[in-house]
Structure 1
């Protein structure tokens, strides 16, 4: 059983460290191929702390220079890394009462240095069983303008569009926040300018985000499968009113 747990946890670690792949998606356009930088933007990892590891984990956390601790009891520990990029919570009795896994670790793998990566692998994942993801956020970044692309889905999707001050689409939402998959397409360059007052050099910078929850996290590799992103050729539409839609 210990070997099975190790194999499972090794798969988890590989997913955590899988970032920065360049891909192209031919379904994105009928006219051109847009290239994306893909990364996991947020990971919520859950599992059960192995009972025999409880004391060792508590000892590590209480003496670690990398974490600030909010609660520290024999069966309840809560805290976050000193740089606020990793949050964790362990509660044995709460997990048992709600019939759910008792350990949760949340982080953005893009913000982890080598020390924190090693700590998550050696001090968290290796001490857990029944490991899995409760949430995965995937980010598809591209340096092309995709605001005019039209999204077609093989399944029914609720759509909301937010327009900027110039009257052009700035953010598009697909699905609902409570569903297993929530999609957001937005002008990342504008977001950086608004939130950080920084102007990046690239002419265009857009992001497609997939927020996956529950069972959908196990199918993250196919999150794009039922979607088509098409850029209409408006010149072929003679009716002005139809073209403006």
Structure 2
């Protein structure tokens, strides 16, 4: 039976929030692996890769693109529905060819694709290919905390975009530009699952509220220090109360938290330098509170580092280890 967005909202409205179990989890949500070589033709290797996969997979299908440099390993459910397991592309960056492989580890495991992935890594070793990551997505799953829609970010100089659904409800928040080394997004995971017609992944009786806070790291942000970098960034996300803010500063603080680009319009008598200084003071005041939400996220990340490292080693080998420094 298909579940609609209206069904989701109806269940959320009827549930007793105080009786729901709140839970946090963290996982590797997406990886982009780059293969490169100093010897041989990558186009030939790419062609051989496709042929090798074609002869070894029986539970998956290969979807060809009209171009020769793209194909996808997919799981077909019927004539109309399928899900991509691994995306392959022969790309050119800076005049050099690279093989780009993009996948979601959770989806790979869900459809029993680890055997295929091990074959791919064996293929890379046989062809003396170097392996590195150009994208690493770390996802925090936040269950049964509907107040997450009020999550705020207080660090300056970060692009902030908000998208709403047709009913006016929050759909997605982005922090950081699409081309930056680190971009963070918050989105309604239940709604995404419904949109993708993956109802079997829903458990609305237990988790009617499921949001995901996802850190997308690109090449320059991926390395030994990235766990500490993510933890530092988490300190900028929280739910901020105003009780300790002076009454005459609260209007400025509220606009700063909700819609900072309107500060100059709301306070036309303040020069841009004055607004900048007041924003700095407000950040300092807000950071005087214990950011309990950030501490919870950091704790679940620390607890799961052994599991994440084991998974990362299975997926890309031992060249990268997640460490809490």
Q: CA deviation at 1:217?
A: 2.6
Select the structure that is richer in strand: 1
Worse-matched range after superposition: 184-193 or 172-181? 184-193
Alignment partner, residue 26 of structure 2: 38
Q: How many residues align?
A: 203
How many angstroms apart in 2 are the aligned matches of 1:101 and 1:197?
36
How many angstroms apart in 2 are the aligned matches of 1:61 and 1:194?
30
SS of residue in 1 equivalent to 2:120: helix
8 Å CA contact 2:90–2:97 kept in 1: the answer is no
**Which runs of structure 2 are paired with 1:1-245 in the superposition (5 Å)?**
36-49=24-37, 51=40, 54=45, 57=49, 60-65=52-57, 66=60, 68=62, 70=64, 78-83=70-75, 84-90=84-90, 98-112=94-108, 113=112, 114-124=114-124, 127-143=127-143, 144-145=145-146, 146-153=148-155, 156-164=157-165, 167=168, 169-196=170-197, 198=199, 200-201=204-205, 202-218=207-223, 219-221=225-227, 222-227=229-234, 228-234=236-242, 245=255
Q: CA deviation at 1:132?
A: 1.0
Q: CA deviation at 1:109?
A: 0.8
SS of residue in 2 equivalent to 1:40: strand
Q: CA deviation at 1:78?
A: 4.1
Structure 1: state its 5+ residue gaps. Answer: 1-33
TM-score, structure 1 normalization: 0.65
SS of residue in 2 equivalent to 1:177: coil
After superposition, what is the alpha-carbon deviation per residue over 1:189-236, rounded to whole angstroms, capped at 9, x for unaligned?
333345548562214211111222221133542234234222122566
Select the structure that is richer in helix: 2
Aligned-residue Cα RMSD (Å) equals 3.6
How many angstroms apart in 2 are the aligned matches of 1:195 and 1:234?
39
Cα 1:126/1:148, change in 2 over 3 Å = farther
Structure (1 or 2) with the larger CA radius of gyration: 2
After superposition, what is the alpha-carbon deviation per residue over 1:57-83, rounded to whole angstroms, capped at 9, x for unaligned?
465235233552748xxxx76422142
